Structure 1
């Protein structure tokens, strides 16, 4: 049935996906205008207009919630409309399940469907067939588009061409004749800023302090947002900065077309330094005001958690803040006493007359671990290559598992030797000749003291109950990371 001479109350609906915007697809305004004209020609009354801009209905788009479409379903159930008009079948849905549910709602409430200037009554077999033929054709077109897109992306990956948004530090390279993007290169403004961020992080400057400075200078992220310590540390771990293309979370072993901004060794050091996204949160001066939060470790057997500050309840007579493990909740050592012990220990060790020479020797020793870092980086890329071979079917799953297990064992063995040992700038200032450590150390910002402590020593707090023995030095185990 193509037309109706009976006055109808109709809802008109238009939609365009984000991917279709700016292309030759008909805009939502144009869709609604055509539907409005059709309704006027038929003498129908438009009782509502619903729209969704930039929302995909394809299963490849994740079947996102459509506010306009949800309102259409409310309109159908209200009993106050006789028909829903859409410009073409794909504007409603390409998904079989969604289309089936929609058809059932129309039939249940005896609401007709207008598509391509045809008014369908889905209680009629021939109209129902016409509707689902349209759904099939729309899904077929979506499948073809998806297949073409995947082939194009596969070719792009093999050629090492970039994909996705432009990372901070890079810029698009535009062909002056066609105006199309042909690649990516270093951005003369943001690339030096990125390298400065990397240098600061390797020197143990808190990511939160770096983010605060970037915001104060009016520098924004690649997406135009303000910086946080978290997005600073996450950014520098991205493989794109060592010239690696990533697919499905795996760095591909292909020769890419854009330059690396940092070395493999520095990237590996940053990945190890910020292996956990939560770690940097607890290193920042913005959220902590103690030496040990997120830095000191629990000494309970089998637990490798870090500690936090807890305040005893008001019902307790002694409400001194205490360190407690975040993982096993043991500890309960008094925070002021522990911090005072560590402060005294750092002052004593850094007051030694030969400390500058010893720390300099440790800095030189960093060069000795370079081979271990490079080997770890090589092995990780090797594991990525094995995974890609398994995905392509060139390597059996069993062989991949066996070879990757051996490589990962070597990575774990070399990881300790490859750990970064960069000493923070604040420490270099402390050991300058003539500096009185006893007055200089307490005057340092808590962020600098935390970074220095974390770079020089490992601290474990022995667990005890809430009503345990009096605190003593034996409750704290300290291991020096340097020979100082």
Structure 2
């Protein structure tokens, strides 16, 4: 099979090509072309090629070029007499794949040229077949040893608290100029404060969207734009803020194969203390259970209120307000007056919808009911998961707060009757800190988002609600309740104004 005039078609592969130029396959091609010309062979104009693709059984990437090679051999479309490889391991480091390749080459009468071996193997020859199989077995064995060594190294690095993989946003790695060994991991002067600020603001009750919007307004560069140029165009997004804050490394924690190693001391500085990080994960986990996205919207209940008939989310739409009107002078048609409504999405694949309600009516009703619930004295004691021990403490704290408040009311009444404002001031200074301390304990037991706790603790809840953005108001509602819009009963059809009974509230 080593005679002149035959055609060779190459399979070129490199496991890692960080430059992205395909330099290694290019070098393979140049030398194989030069050698083929010396032998009097023609070189096929379209080689098979896989750049940045491992051939071991540990790879997760598909080798498109290798797949095309097998498909063409199977279909008889290889178009050459010889398959050219730089070395046998370039073909595959998996014995099973090698055997498939050998069988297909034998079936089509295609020789296998391994340049580094200086010969062409005949896959129909028993001795040549054995040599190729032994090469495959040796390549797989070397691949397995390399994988085991890397796993040991990664585990050892994890137990030493050393980083692995790409540099994490918020940090900067310092390397030895000559050996390129990692010397130190330090806080990035620009990115570190961004991580801390995002964590602080989520714990203070702000939404991911509000934080991302503010970062973009400030002109803070997006995370990892050099790895994903699209991120530079998009800037910060709500999912990007959330994903960043899930990283255990910011709390000085090393993660290995999905396991967080709590007892390992890491070599990088902590950006978020561990107590705050664990609290942050609880807050974000609570938000993750909610339906709906965190993209900007103009309306309070879009995607939050649901249809009482089918359970589908709602969207906003328009409804005609009365009959067509005409200009009294010209008689021309005037534009139809409309108003905004919330309407359910209907049944998938079918026309129409089940319920609709005027937007301002539902907004007003839901806001009134939600704020009334938050204003209840026992609000913080009632929200969250039921737990007998926690519920007992909540009840005791609530009783303590109520006792202090009643005492101050009595003191206030007595001070007014006796005109002794000094007594009132003294009691306020003594009792008010006790109320605040009990309130903080109650808040710490409330199993809900800091945004809700912050609103519940405001001196003027109505005023605080008005100062909130629509996105924050939506977040509070989403955390507390699911409004369900039911059909208007026949007895109410045609009447104007809000009808509260057609809305049910499923409290969380």
The two structures have a TM-score, normalised by structure 2, of 0.67
Q: How does 1:61-80 map to 2 (within 5 A)?
A: 61-62=59-60, 64-73=61-70, 75-76=72-73, 77-78=76-77, 80=79
Q: Residue 273 of structure 1 aligns to a residue in which SS? A: helix
User: Could you say which residue in structure 2 is the equivalent of 1:308?
Assistant: 313
Determine the structure 1 residue equivalent to 2:270: 260
What residue number does 1:37 align with?
Answer: 34
Instruction: Check the 8 A contact 2:343/2:357 in 1, yes or no.
Output: yes
* Aligned mate of 1:282, from 284, 288, 292: 292
Partner of residue 48 from structure 2, selected from 50, 53, 60: 50
CA shift for structure 1 position 324: 7.8
SS of the equivalent of 2:142 reads: helix
Q: Is the contact made by 2:355 and 2:487 (CA closer than 8 Å) also made in structure 1?
A: yes
* Change over 3 Å in CA distance of 1:165–1:365 after alignment to 2: farther
Distance 1:469 1:251 in 2: 61
Aligned to 1:184: 185
Shift of 1:183: 3.7
Q: Are residues 421 and 218 of structure 1, via their aligned partners in 2, closer, same or farther at CA, if it must alter by over 3 Å?
A: closer
The answer on whether the counterparts of 2:111 and 2:122 sit within 8 Å (CA) in structure 1 is yes
Residues 307 and 193 of structure 1, relative CA distance in 2, 3 Å threshold: farther
Partner SS for 2:301: coil
Once the two structures are superposed, the pairs formed by residues 314-325 of structure 1 within 5 Å of their partners are 320-322=341-343
Take 1:112 and 1:466, find their aligned partners in 2: how far apart are those partners?
79
Does residue 292 of the first structure (1) align with residue 320 of the second (2)? no
Distance 2:87 2:300 in 1: 64
Question: What is the CA distance between 1:173 and its match in structure 2?
Answer: 2.7
Secondary structure of the residue aligned to 1:476 is strand
1:177, distance to aligned residue in structure 2 (A): 5.8
1-side partners of 2:188 and 2:111: how far apart? 56
- The yes-or-no answer on 1:97 pairing with 2:77 is no
1:342 is the counterpart of 2:352:
no
Equivalent residues, number = 409
Q: Distance in 1 between matches of 2:259 and 2:185?
A: 20
SS of residue in 1 equivalent to 2:33: helix
User: Secondary structure at the residue paired with 1:27?
Assistant: helix
Query: 1:178 offset after TM fit, Å?
Result: 3.5
8 Å CA contact retained: 1:291, 1:449: yes
Deviation, 1:452, is 4.7
| Whole-Å separation in 1 of the counterparts to 2:501 and 2:488 | 18
- The change in CA–CA distance for 1:363 and 1:105 in structure 2 (over 3 A counts) is farther
* Cα pair 1:173 1:183 within 8 Å, conserved: yes
Equivalent-residue separation in structure 1 for 2:91 and 2:470 (angstroms): 58
Equivalent residues of 2:307, 2:355 under 8 A apart: no
Counterparts in 2 of 1:154 and 1:445: CA distance versus 1, 3 Å: closer
Structure-2 separation of matches of 1:261 and 1:338? 43
1:220 aligns with 2:222: yes
- What's 2:164 paired with? 163
Q: How does 1:81-160 map to 2 (within 5 A)?
A: 81-115=80-114, 116-160=117-161
* Alpha-carbon spacing, 1:246–1:423, altered in 2? closer, same or farther (3 Å): same
Paired with 2:132 and 2:489, the residues of 1 have a C-alpha distance of 74
Report the Cα offset of residue 12 of structure 1.
Answer: 1.7
Q: Distance in 1 between the 2:503 and 2:43 partners?
A: 78
Q: Does the 8 A contact of 2:7 with 2:81 survive in 1?
A: yes
User: Equivalent of 1:421, from 430, 447, 450?
Assistant: 450
Write the deviation string for residues 386-409 of structure 1: whole angstroms up to 9, x where unpaired: xxxxxxxxxxxxxxxxxxxxxxxx
CA positional deviation for 1:111 = 0.8
Which residue of 2 is the match for residue 236 of structure 1?
245
Q: CA deviation at 1:362?
A: 9.5
Cα distance change on mapping 1:172 and 1:296 into 2, 3 Å: farther
Unaligned runs of 5+ in 1: 373-415
Q: Which runs of 5+ in 2 are unaligned?
A: 323-338, 348-352, 377-400, 406-432, 493-498
Q: Is 1:159–1:256's contact at 8 Å kept on the other side of the alignment?
A: yes
Specify the SS of the correspondent of 2:313: strand
Task: Say which of 459, 467, 470 aligns to 1:446.
Answer: 470
- Whether 1:28 and 2:25 are equivalent positions in the alignment is yes
User: What SS does structure 1 have at the residue aligned with 2:292?
Assistant: helix
Shift of 1:21: 5.3
The 3-state SS of whatever aligns with 1:261 is: coil
Q: What is aligned with 1:459?
A: 481
Mean CA deviation greater in 69-78 or 52-61: 69-78
SS at match of 1:282: coil
Task: Specify whether residues 91 and 351 from structure 1 end up closer, same or farther in structure 2 by C-alpha distance, changes over 3 A only.
Answer: closer
Contact 1:323 1:335 in 2 (8 A): no
Q: Secondary structure at the match of 2:98?
A: helix
- Give SS of 1:267's match: helix
How far apart, in 1, do the equivalents of 2:287 and 2:113 lie? 51
Q: Distance in 2 between matches of 1:143 and 1:44?
A: 36
| CA–CA separation in structure 2 for the residues paired with 1:215 and 1:101 | 54
Task: After TM superposition, give the deviation of residue 320 of structure 1 in Å.
Answer: 4.5
Moved more, 101-110 or 332-341: 332-341
Distance 1:29 1:101 in 2: 26
When the two chains are superposed, the root-mean-square deviation of aligned CA atoms in Å is 4.4
